């Protein structure tokens, strides 16, 4: 029987084009993980996020929202570990921070000292959360790494954590070791060979302390490099695979490889252009560079994880990372990564960072210029959170959803189709053409969906749900299907608004808008 497809006719005042949405899952569709959307949290203020003696209700609610959509709690990475040491006399943690500046209103800690209570706070996460925790490798202090690993093992074996099925999925030894020479953490000649030798020495001791075995749930997360295949210093996934590590007793305990990736940098105060960040060609160019690394890991049977990512490194750029446009960027970035076979994407977060999806505590100074807030700004989500919610809803709770990217020959229009049990169930369309708040005329793209074959198993109707924003430069006021996550509790509020359209009816997607189509078949509710 010939394949059945839906034709998408895109018409504008300039040109028209077609793309195909198969009704049945094609052979190139990849399984997309319900745990695709994760969060990487700076270790220095981890307890502010999660709570100490009591849980942080706002953070818990924002994670639970996503769990309701996929059936899986978002995975959490407690990362950036190379300034953390252990002291049993500390109840939770103590941190030393440099003074804030107008460019860096919320700086990272120079040093963090953690006690047993620090790791025990994972009990405040939603039940079923899978956690990755980094131990200190940057300071070349094996005692610190072992003490942290012992404390981790105690925390994740505790009754309250076990009862909630909160698991230590990975231990990560060090953070961006390929940058150590640049940061003064190792000699300028620090090579991949020297790294691998030292990493193996650390890993053998950490494995014993954290009680990692071939049958344990916990495994080692390898890599965590900022470098890709073409690293000058030799750090790359391929180098790890060619090393002797997989011929040692440590090899079977490595089940995933992590790379870090940012789309730009704000470290020297340089800005960027929001339209460039959102542009689908820019997104594909950024992520496609890692395809050789993904392929190499897949051939070796390892999961490929983007262990730390966001828009602009060094906490984000004002007017870009904290805007509605960043939500469109993050949605396309997430789904394109999933389409490539990435198993997890951890958006990096810190207290007061411009690129946060979630600001989990009161802020006492501006994230943009450090000016004092009068009164303090309460906990809130930022626009990127909508990307996490929309992607989670598109993936759904079955655990067996597959994804393809739609071939749409349009500079701003990206699309993805999702299948369950081999049948088309949803599609996401993203128009990344920037519309600025205050502009007058908002362009539209018209889409006509029609079936190329008459067959009993084809969609009859579609439910249309829209992400609304006043403009890409806005920082609040987004609506997903008429509803908002910009509430005091972090839970969704407002009345759901969708459109029910016949598949044959024209569909309009405006500048700076994302829509989800949920397809209904004959006899479905």
pLDDT reported for residue 234: 85
Predicted local confidence at residue 524, as pLDDT: 60
Give the residues across from 32 on adjacent strands.
none
Domain 34-395 is found in CATH 3.30.1330.60: no
Question: Which CATH number, 2.115.10.20, 2.60.40.10, 1.20.58.710, 2.60.40.1180, labels domain 5-30+401-521?
Answer: 2.60.40.1180
Q: Which residues in the chain come in under a pLDDT of 70?
A: 1-19, 227-233, 268-271, 450-457, 523-525
Can you give the pLDDT at residue 168?
A: 98
Q: Are 429 and 517 in contact (CB under 8 A)?
A: yes
The Cα–Cα gap between 50 and 53 comes to 10
Preceding peptide of 375 cis, ω within 30° = yes
Average model confidence (pLDDT) for the chain?
A: 92
Predicted pLDDT at 13: 46
Q: What is the pLDDT of residue 264?
A: 81
- Tell me, what DSSP letter sits at residue 350? -
Task: Enter the pTM of the model.
Answer: 0.95
pLDDT tens for 373-414 read: 999 999 999 999 999 999 999 999 999 999 999 998 889 999
CA torsion sign, 224 to 227 to 229 to 233?
negative
Tokens of 194: 């020297």
Domain ranges of the chain: 5-30+401-521, 34-395
Answer whether 94's CB lies under 8 Å from 121's CB. no
């Amino acid at each position: 029987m010939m394949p059945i497809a839906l034709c998408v006719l895109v018409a504008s005042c300039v040109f028209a084009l077609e793309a195909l949405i198969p009704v049945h899952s094609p052979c190139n569709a990849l399984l997309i993980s319900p745990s695709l959307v994760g969060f990487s949290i700076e270790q220095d203020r981890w307890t502010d996020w999660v709570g100490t003696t009591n849980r942080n209700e706002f953070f818990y609610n924002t994670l639970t929202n996503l769990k309701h959509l996929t059936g899986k709690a978002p995975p959490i990475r407690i990362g950036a570990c190379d300034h953390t040491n252990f002291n049993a006399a500390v109840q939770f943690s103590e941190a030393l921070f440099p003074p804030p500046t107008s460019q860096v209103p919320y700086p990272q800690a120079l040093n963090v000292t953690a006690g047993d209570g620090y790791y025990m706070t994972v009990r405040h996460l939603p039940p079923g959360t899978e956690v990755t925790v980094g131990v200190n490798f940057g300071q070349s202090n094996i005692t610190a790494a072992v003490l942290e690993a012992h404390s981790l093992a105690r925390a994740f074996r505790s009754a309250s954590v076990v009862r909630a099925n909160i698991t230590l999925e990975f231990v990560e030894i060090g953070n961006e070791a390929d940058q150590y020479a640049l940061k003064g953490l190792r000699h300028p000649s620090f090579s991949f060979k020297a790294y691998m030798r030292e990493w193996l020495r650390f890993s053998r001791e950490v494995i014993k302390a954290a009680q990692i075995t071939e049958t344990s749930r916990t495994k080692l997360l390898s890599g965590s490099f900022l470098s890709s295949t073409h690293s000058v210093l030799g750090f790359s996934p391929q180098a790890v695979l060619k090393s002797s590590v997989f011929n040692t007793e440590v090899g079977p305990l490595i089940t995933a490889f992590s790379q870090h990736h940012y789309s730009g940098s704000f470290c020297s105060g340089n800005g960027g252009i929001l339209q460039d960040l959102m542009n689908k060609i820019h997104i594909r160019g950024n992520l496609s560079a890692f395809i050789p690394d993904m392929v190499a890991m897949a051939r070796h049977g390892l999961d490929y994880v983007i262990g730390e990512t966001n828009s602009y490194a060094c906490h984000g750029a004002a007017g870009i990372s904290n805007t509605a446009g960043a939500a469109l960027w993050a949605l396309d970035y997430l789904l394109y990564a999933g389409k490539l076979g990435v198993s997890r994407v951890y958006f990096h977060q810190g207290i007061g960072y411009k690129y946060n999806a979630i600001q989990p505590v009161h802020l006492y100074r501006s994230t943009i210029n450090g000016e004092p807030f009068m009164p303090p700004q309460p906990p809130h989500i930022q626009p990127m959170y909508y990307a996490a919610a929309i992607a989670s809803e598109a993936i759904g709770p079955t655990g067996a959803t597959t994804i393809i990217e739609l071939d749409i020959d349009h500079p701003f229009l990206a699309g993805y189709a999702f299948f369950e049990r081999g049948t088309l169930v949803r599609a996401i369309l993203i128009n990344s053409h920037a519309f600025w708040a205050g502009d007058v005329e908002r362009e539209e793209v018209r889409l006509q969906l029609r079936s190329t074959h008459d067959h009993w198993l084809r969609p009859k109707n579609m439910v249309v749900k829209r992400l609304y924003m006043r403009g890409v430069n806005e920082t609040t006021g987004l609506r997903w299907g008429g509803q908002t996550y910009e509430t005091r509790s972090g839970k969704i509020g407002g009345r759901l608004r969708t459109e029910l359209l016949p598949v044959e009816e024209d569909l309009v997607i405006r500048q700076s808008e994302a829509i989800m189509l949920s397809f209904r078949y004959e006899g479905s509710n």
